[in-house]
Amino acid sequence: MAKLTLPAQELMFSGHSACPGCGAALAMRLLLKGLGPRTVVSVPACCWTVIATPYPTTALGVAMMDNPIEATGASISGIRAALDAMGEKDVTVVGFAGDGGTADIGIQALSGMLERRTNALYVMYDNEAYMNTGVQRSGETPLGAWTTTTPVEGHEHGKIEAKKDMMAIVLAHHPVYAATLNPSFPEDFERKVEKAKAMSGPRFFDIFAPCSTGWRFDAQKTIAIGRLATDTGVFPLYEVENGRYHVTRKVGSLKPVEEYLHAQGRFRHLTPANIAAVGAQVRDGWEKLLTFESESLVAPTPSAAPTAPPATRA
């Protein structure tokens, strides 16, 4: 056998009920590989509630707590507080929430958890819509995308607003570590997981999670679409540690954004002008990111550098 480039342990079981080819399922599998068995995961209402299968079965080889959709940030604060009170050490506490449960209805609890410096890793698995309820728009749905509540009919042409920049919002809370991850790049993914695991304090992951059901592509394309997202600049891979940005996948020249958009049914209706607008936005984001990186090499960005990081708390 060739040497495995990822940890061999499997803490997400087969037999779960994600759609075939689900990016969110692969995200969980890769995440737990790196985090190991002493992990407690809090999961709000989202696809993963269902993926984990009905009582009395569970799809995770670790402890899993359900929580209401908007309360993941608070839930992981509670779990950490209990572990601290009971003297349980070396446990990684994880909130694993969808984009809707994070960026929309759960943003208050997330902000609270980051601000009170809970020693936990908050993961937003980003499938860019409310998938469990059947593909409705969220704050993370990108510009132009079709969803059932941003229809392409009559004078409507998909979502008219841009995606909410969750990384920027999170970074304004000065987490010890924040990173974007993409299962299409599993080695980069695993390196970030291991890095985050070794830290203590509030940490945040934005994990790209292609959803063939909601994005309208054939299931076998999940990985290819993820790769395109990063290589077109739509979903750049980077990390921010103590205010320093680091782009972890340097793309010399970005692929045309069309390649990514044309691969998915949710963007099928976009006109060349629409595509040009998306392309401009993507390029702008990418260039800003490169600027942040080069500037923060000189001096960590002020917004991301608290003067004296407070001690970690529950």
Ligand X SMILES: Cc1ncc(C[n+]2csc(CCOP(=O)(O)OP(=O)(O)O)c2C)c(N)n1
Q: Which does 309 bind (CB under 5 to 8 A by kind): ligand SF4, other proteins, ligand X, none?
A: none
Q: Name the minimum Å distance from CB 265 to ligand SF4.
A: 13
Give me the DSSP letters along 180-206: EE-TTSHHHHHHHHHHHHT--S-EEEE
Residue type, 162: A
Task: Pick between residue 77 and residue 127 the one whose CB is nearest to ligand SF4.
Answer: 127
Q: Which does 98 bind (CB under 5 to 8 A by kind): other proteins, ligand X, ligand SF4, none?
A: ligand X
Neighbours of 108 (CB within 10 A): 12
- Is residue 49 within 8 A of residue 243, CB to CB? The reply is no
Q: Name the minimum Å distance from CB 18 to Mg ion.
A: 13
Q: Which residues pair with 177 in a beta bridge?
A: 203, 241
Residue type, 245: Y
Considering the rule CB under 8 A, would residue 83 count as an interface residue with other proteins? yes
Q: Name the minimum Å distance from CB 68 to ligand SF4.
A: 19
Binding footprint of ligand SF4, residue count (CB under 6 A): 12
Among positions 142, 144, 183, 202, the unique one binding other proteins when judged by CB under 8 A: 183
Among positions 6, 19, 65, 169, the unique one binding ligand SF4 when judged by CB under 6 A: 19
Of 267, 234, 275, 276, the C-alpha closest to 251 is: 234
Considering the rule CB under 6 A, would residue 99 count as an interface residue with ligand X? yes
Residue type, 57: T
Q: Name the minimum Å distance from CB 220 to ligand SF4.
A: 8
Q: How far apart are CA 51 and CA 279, in angstroms?
A: 34
- Is residue 24 within 8 A of residue 126, CB to CB? The reply is no
Contacts of 94 (CB under 8 A, 6+ apart): 31, 35, 39, 40, 41, 42, 76, 120, 121, 122, 123
- Is residue 43 within 8 A of residue 66, CB to CB? The reply is yes
Among positions 74, 131, 170, 240, the unique one binding ligand SF4 when judged by CB under 6 A: 131
Task: Pick between residue 59 and residue 240 the one whose CB is nearest to other proteins.
Answer: 59
CA distances from 308 to 46, 179, 242, 269, 311 (A): 36, 21, 11, 50, 9
Among positions 109, 124, 234, 304, the unique one binding other proteins when judged by CB under 8 A: 109
Contacts of 195 (CB under 8 A, 6+ apart): 177, 179, 239
Classify strands 92-98 and 203-208 as parallel, antiparallel or unpaired: unpaired
Site string for ligand X, 63-82 (x = CB under 6 A): ------x-------------
Footprint of Mg ion (CB under 5 A): 98-99, 127, 131
Binding footprint of other proteins, residue count (CB under 8 A): 83
Considering the rule CB under 8 A, would residue 301 count as an interface residue with other proteins? no
Task: Pick between residue 99 and residue 188 the one whose CB is nearest to Mg ion.
Answer: 99
Binding footprint of ligand X, residue count (CB under 6 A): 16
Among positions 31, 113, 121, 131, the unique one binding ligand X when judged by CB under 6 A: 131
Give contact residues for ligand X (rule: CB under 6 A): 24, 45-47, 69, 98-101, 127, 129-133, 138
Give contact residues for ligand SF4 (rule: CB under 6 A): 18-19, 22, 24, 47, 51, 127, 131, 211-214
